[in-house]
Structure 1
Amino acid sequence: MDTQPQSFVPPHPTPRTHIPTRLEVIRTVMRNPLELWGEPSYTLPYITAKFLNETTLICNHPELIRHVLVDNNRNYRMARVRQLILRPILQDGLLTAEGDTWKRSRKAMAPVFTPRHIQGFADMMKARVATFLERYREGAGQIHDVGHDMTELTYEVLATTLFSDEIASDGHDFADDVDKLLSTMGKVSPLDLLKAPEWLPRFQRIRGRTVLRKFRKVVRDTMSARRERMDTDPDSVPNDFLKLLLDAEGPDGLTADEVEDNLITFIGAGHETTARALGWTLYLLANAPHERALVEDEIEAVLADDPPAVEWLDKMPKTRAAFEEAMRLYPPAPSINREAIEDETFTFKDGSKAEIRKGTTVLVMPWVLHRHRLYWENPNAFQPSRFWPEHRGEIDRFQYLPFGAGPRICIGATFALQEAVIALALLLKQFRFEPTPGLAPWPVQKLTVQAQNGLPMRVMKR
């Protein structure tokens, strides 16, 4: 009789069983915020706590999450601690801008990320991934840091699809630069937790200033080269994301600084979340042979008919499900931070109430929510079948938030899903990823969730 094999449970921090001291909180957040959360965070619908005389609401209940992020989102601005970390890097990019600045940027970018436009990128994505695979053919049988490789791959896809391969950089050591930027400039400082003014220096970020200046120079050079081409040979200019933003520049649109900030956001961070999720997907499948076989069989069957790449996302539900389950276990964006503007009382359907005071920091944390015992069966196990079409209806919309929710939902969500399925289909059709002995990658939060020492895996030809 056939039996379902035991599910793979990948590495994750054990929830705390005691209330940490202030010093423990600061040390843990500086080292790895994922290790901070205790048993109540994974078992209760919401928790109210105080730290340094400030109130924090850890919000897990889907009803309350919907209220904060959607129904009454106007009462919740970006949390100050989050802005203290991100704004030095992105300034007024889409992830950090607020108010009218955010609205202008979102409106300017929306045409690129319509479903029809994204579907038009499918063939470019397929071609770019196919070119990338040459390095695995040449190094077949060797150990590769797959996490690093996926950062390079998604950067190349981004450069091709949104910038027509006209980013003023050769991409050399790009993955290393991104890692350095996120692990320095993106690292939490004790001064951030204390909400100290931005002008006070965060000494651990000094190392990141050089790479940030490098990113900014790349963006300025890219803008300058494209502007010159738009002036001298406008008919040859591709109608891509870069042109769209430059066309939006003007008195009624974006400022030059806002264009630069949004390009920084997409070049420096826009591909990072997809890269991390792809790396984790390959690691999880490598350790779950049964799940890997289901995905491989699906890919073989679909590609045997050679359908257009634009159809792969819909034709490969098990491949997509493996990627979505990887984002559940290792959400690329592990926390969503808001701050209440005014007092309010939220009433649950059962009549119970949650009091939210002005100034309260509200944390909606996909890392905790996606492993919460009230909402998931066997929450720490890798089980892609949760996301198969016949089971998707069992998952509440506000129980699973890899791309956020509400007005600030990730504008590139569909782009990322299409890219991921195309990449996985080509990678897994030709290669098998095998974990190296003793590999138990520890997840750490450096803005995104990544493996502490990379994802070294042996890449074998199939």
Structure 2
Amino acid sequence: MDMPVRPFRPPAPIPHAEPLGFASFLKTASRNPIEIWGTRAFKEPYIRGTWLGVPNIVVNDPKGVRHCLVENAANYVMQPLRQRILRPLLRDGLLTAEGALWRRTRKAIAPVFTPRNIAGFTETMQARSQAFAERISGRVGETVDGSHEMTLLTFDILQATLFTDDIAGDGETFATSTRAFLGSMGRVDPLDLLDAPAFLPRLRRLKGRRSMAYFRRLIAETIERRRAEIERGPDGAPNDLLSLLIKADGLSADEIEDNIITFIGAGHETTARSLAWTLYLLSQAPAERAAVEAELDSVLPTLSHPSEWVDRLVYTRAVFEEALRLYPPAPSLNRTALAPDRAGDVEITAGATVLVMPWLIHRHEMLWDRPDHFIPSRFLPGNRETIDRYQYLPFGVGPRVCIGASFALQEGVIALASLLKHLRFDYAGNGPPEVVQRITVQPLGGLPLRVARR
């Protein structure tokens, strides 16, 4: 009699049993924010605490999430700590802008992400993914850094779809600079946690200045080139994200630059990390990988166009969605309350910090069966419908939900199918990868994967 296959339990920081002291909390949060959480955070619907005299409320209850981020979203603005970390990178980009600027920017960008436009990107996504798969197949038997390689792939897809192959610079330099840029600039500094004045230098970010300068030069050159094309006439430039931003009413030159950096620096980074984690998870779960390969072998030949892949490759999509659950691209969605409010039985005072943490909610014992295990079947038809909309938040929720969510999901499925159609990626590390939060949830030091044919 065959024994049932036990699901794989992927690596993650172990929750601590007792609350951290002040010094320990400061050290841990600065090194790896997702390590601060104790066992209560994965068991209880709400947790109250204080930091520097400010009330902090962790909201894990889906009804509370819906109330704070959807029903009463106008009462909650971006948390100052989040802004202190992200604004030095993204300035007035869509992720960090608020109020009228955010509304104006979102309106300008929205036409790119209509369902029709997103479906129109599928052929380009498939062509670039297939070309990448063919290139990496020349490295069969070698070990590659999956994080780095997926950054190369998603950058290629991003510049082909949203920027019509018109981003200055080359992919390899871009990938290296992205890692340095987000790895240093996106880290929590102890001074941020202590609410120190902005004029005090954050030493951990100083080494990111060179990569920041690279990004700014690259974007300035890209914008200058596209402006010249637009000025040559209506047929001189494609109507892509870059052109829409340049033509948008009310966006300054700096704001255009900030939004392009947001998309190429952070927008593609989330999908790259998710793809790398998916390849790792499959390498540790032979039965799940076999199921994906069987689906690709049987279903892909019956599909006439890549626009069908997301809906028809149900197991491949479920695997990607489960990777997004275990390693959410945006692990925290934190807000500050403008006025008193109530979530469930919890009073929220004006000025309180409300912490909605996909990292916690996605692994919460109250919400998931075996939450720490890799079980893609939870996202298959028949199971997917039982998941509350507000317990699965890989792209956020409410007015500030990620504008590129459908783009990213489509890109992820197409890229995975193209890569796994003829290739396998086996984890080649000496031990489990260490999971850290920078801006995204990523493997510290990269993700060594050995390329093989199947």
Q: TM-score, normalised by structure 1?
A: 0.96
Instruction: Give 5+ residue unaligned stretches, structure 2.
Output: none
CA distance in 1, matches of 2:136, 2:130: 11
407, 422, 445: which one pairs with 2:437? Answer: 445
Deviation string, structure 1 residues 30-68 (Cα, Å, up to 9, x no partner):
111111100110000010011222211111000111111
Q: Are 2:77 and 1:77 aligned? A: yes
Q: Which residue of 1 aligns with 2:47?
A: 47
Runs of 4+ in 1 over 6 A off after TM superposition: none
| AA matched with 1:370 | H
CA distance in 1, matches of 2:166, 2:278: 30
Deviation at 1:396, TM superposition (A): 0.6
Q: Which residue of 2 aligns with 1:358?
A: 350
Q: Are 2:254 and 1:269 aligned? A: no
Q: Which residue of 2 aligns with 1:255?
A: 252
Deviation string, structure 1 residues 149-196 (Cα, Å, up to 9, x no partner):
001100110000000100011223222211111121111111111122
327, 330, 333: which one pairs with 1:330? Answer: 327
Quick check: 1:321–1:387 contact (8 Å CA) kept in 2? yes
Quick check: 1:336–1:365 contact (8 Å CA) kept in 2? yes
Deviation string, structure 1 residues 335-384 (Cα, Å, up to 9, x no partner):
111001111223x3xxxx11001111111111111110001111100000
Q: Are 2:100 and 1:100 aligned? A: yes
CA distance in 1, matches of 2:178, 2:76: 30
Deviation at 1:255, TM superposition (A): 1.8
Instruction: Give 5+ residue unaligned stretches, structure 1.
Output: none
Deviation string, structure 1 residues 262-314 (Cα, Å, up to 9, x no partner):
11100111100000000000100111010111111111112122420011000
Aligned ranges for residues 1-20 of structure 1 at < 5 Å?
A: 1=1, 3-20=3-20
Aligned ranges for residues 153-168 of structure 1 at < 5 Å?
A: 153-168=153-168
| AA matched with 1:461 | R
Q: Are 2:33 and 1:33 aligned? A: yes
Deviation at 1:135, TM superposition (A): 2.6
CA distance in 2, matches of 1:114, 1:4: 44
380, 388, 391: which one pairs with 1:399? Answer: 391
CA distance in 2, matches of 1:213, 1:61: 42
CA distance in 2, matches of 1:152, 1:13: 28
Deviation at 1:79, TM superposition (A): 0.1
Deviation at 1:437, TM superposition (A): 5.4
| AA matched with 2:408 | A
Deviation at 1:438, TM superposition (A): 3.2
Label 1:437 to 1:80 Cα distance change in 2 as closer, same or farther (>3 A). closer
Quick check: 1:85–1:192 contact (8 Å CA) kept in 2? yes
CA distance in 2, matches of 1:439, 1:118: 39
Q: Which residue of 2 aligns with 1:384?
A: 376
Identity of aligned residues (%): 52
Q: Which residue of 1 aligns with 2:305?
A: 308
Q: Tell me which moved more, 26-35 or 230-239.
A: 230-239
Q: Are 2:227 and 1:227 aligned? A: yes
Q: Are 2:404 and 1:412 aligned? A: yes
Corresponding pairs, count: 454
Deviation at 1:233, TM superposition (A): 4.7
Q: Which residue of 2 aligns with 1:458?
A: 450
Quick check: 2:137–2:451 contact (8 Å CA) kept in 1? no
Q: TM-score, normalised by structure 2?
A: 0.98
Q: Tell me which moved more, 50-59 or 154-163.
A: 50-59
Quick check: 1:22–1:51 contact (8 Å CA) kept in 2? no
- The alignment partner of 2:161 has SS state of helix
CA distance in 1, matches of 2:210, 2:169: 16
| AA matched with 1:408 | R
Q: Which residue of 2 aligns with 1:422?
A: 414
Q: Which residue of 2 aligns with 1:278?
A: 275
Q: Which residue of 1 aligns with 2:128?
A: 128
CA distance in 2, matches of 1:80, 1:90: 15
CA distance in 1, matches of 2:271, 2:452: 23
Quick check: 2:152–2:172 contact (8 Å CA) kept in 1? no
Q: Which residue of 2 aligns with 1:91?
A: 91
Quick check: 2:49–2:56 contact (8 Å CA) kept in 1? yes
CA distance in 2, matches of 1:135, 1:110: 34
339, 342, 345: which one pairs with 1:342? Answer: 339
Q: Which residue of 2 aligns with 1:432?
A: 424
Q: Are 2:369 and 1:372 aligned? A: no
CA distance in 2, matches of 1:359, 1:430: 54
Quick check: 1:75–1:340 contact (8 Å CA) kept in 2? yes
Aligned ranges for residues 48-63 of structure 1 at < 5 Å?
A: 48-63=48-63
Deviation at 1:139, TM superposition (A): 0.8
